[in-house]
Amino acid sequence: MARIIILVMFMALGFFHQHNQVKAFEPSGWSKGHATFYGGSDASGTMGGACGYGDLYSTGYGTSTTALSVALFNNGASCGQCYRIRCDYESDSRWCLKGKSITVTATNLCPANNALPNDNGGWCNTPLQHFDMSQPAWEKIGIYKGGIVPVLFQRVPCKKHGGVRFKIGGVNYFELVLIHNVGGSGAIKAAWIKGSKTDWMPMSMNWGANWQSNAYLNGQSLSFKVTTDDGETRIFPDIAPSNWTFGQTFSSTVQF
C-alpha cells in the first residue's frame, strides 16, 4: 500500500517525464514556391526589415534570412519562422544546385507589386508563396544568373544559439519590446509582461516582432511570458533587473 501511495504522489508531482514533456515543433510537409534574392553579395541590404530585427548580425540571424511574400508574411505573424528551402531541380535543372538546401529565418516582407503580373515581376503578389532570400542564402541552392528558381520548402524548427532575447525600447508608460532569437516554432503568437509590483499584463503586437505595453514599469524588475504560434508557452522570470534602462537587451537562459 505504501508503495502505491508513493507512486501516486510522484505522478502528481510530475516526476514521470512522459507526463511532463513539452512537445517539440515538428517540420511541415513540402510545398512548392519560387525564390529570388536581394540585398547584395554581402547581404547588407537585408538589414532592418518589416520584422524589426534591425542589425541581423547582432540579433543573431546573420545572412541565412528571407523576406516572405504577402501571403506567407501574414501581417507580421510569421516573423521568426524558419524554412528549409531547396531548389526544385526536376523543374529547372539549369539554375538549380542539385541536392542542396538551406534553412533560413523570416525577417522581412517582400511587398506586392500589383502593377506587374504574378508570373512576371509580381512574384510576391497574393496568393503566391514566394521567398526573396538574402543573396548568400539563395546562392546555396541556385546559380546567380538564374535570378528566380522554383523551390520546394517546408517549415522547420528554429535552432538558435543562446536564449530568447528581449530588447526594451520605448519611453515612460510605453515599453516596446523586440522579442527575438526565438527557437522552436520561432514565431510569437502572444506575449505578457510583469513588473515586480504588478500582475501579468498582456502585450499587443506593435509591428513585426515588436510587442508593446502601456504601463509605468520603471524601477521594477521585468518578467515575460511568451506563447509561440504552435501553442507552446515559456515564462522568463526576472529577465531585466530593476535598474534596467530603455535600449538595453536582456537574454534568457532557456529556449523553446
31-156: CATH, from 2.40.40.10, 2.60.40.10, 3.40.50.150, 3.40.640.10:
2.40.40.10
Which residues, other chains included, contact 212 with Cβ-Cβ below 8 Å and sequence gap of 6+? 170, 174, 175, 176, 177, 203, 204, 205, 206
Domains of the chain by residue range: 31-156, 165-251
Mean pLDDT value of segment 95-114: 97
Mean pLDDT value of segment 172-194: 97
What pLDDT does 222 receive?
Answer: 98
Let me know if 230 is exposed, middle or buried by CB neighbors in 10 A (0-12, 13-18, 19+): middle
How many CA atoms within 13 Å lie on the side-chain side of 181? 22
How does residue 140 score in pLDDT terms, banded at 50, 70 and 90?
A: very high
At the top level of CATH, the class of 165-251 is mainly beta
Residue 100: is its pLDDT beyond 60?
A: yes
What pLDDT does 22 receive?
Answer: 55
pTM over 0.95: no
- Angstrom CA distances, 160 to 41, 53, 82, 93, 245, stand at 24, 15, 10, 33, 26
Mean pLDDT value of segment 60-76: 96
Residue 14: is its pLDDT beyond 90?
A: no
Q: Average pLDDT over the chain, rounded to whole?
A: 92
- Site of grid cell 520561432: 186
Residue 19: is its pLDDT beyond 80?
A: no
How does residue 44 score in pLDDT terms, banded at 50, 70 and 90?
A: very high
The DSSP symbol for 184 reads B
Q: Strands 101-109, 65-68: parallel, antiparallel or unpaired by DSSP?
A: parallel
- Number of neighbours of residue 47 by Cβ within 10 angstroms: 18
Q: Strand order of the sheet with strand 174-180?
A: 204-207, 210-213, 174-180, 165-171, 249-251
* Per-residue pLDDT tens digits for 188-197: 999 999 999 9
Q: Strands 149-156, 82-87: parallel, antiparallel or unpaired by DSSP?
A: antiparallel
How does residue 11 score in pLDDT terms, banded at 50, 70 and 90?
A: very low
The DSSP symbol for 231 reads S
Give the Cα separation of 181 and 172 in Å (integer).
26
Whether 104 and 64 have beta carbons less than 8 Å apart is answered as: yes
Whether 34 and 141 have beta carbons less than 8 Å apart is answered as: no
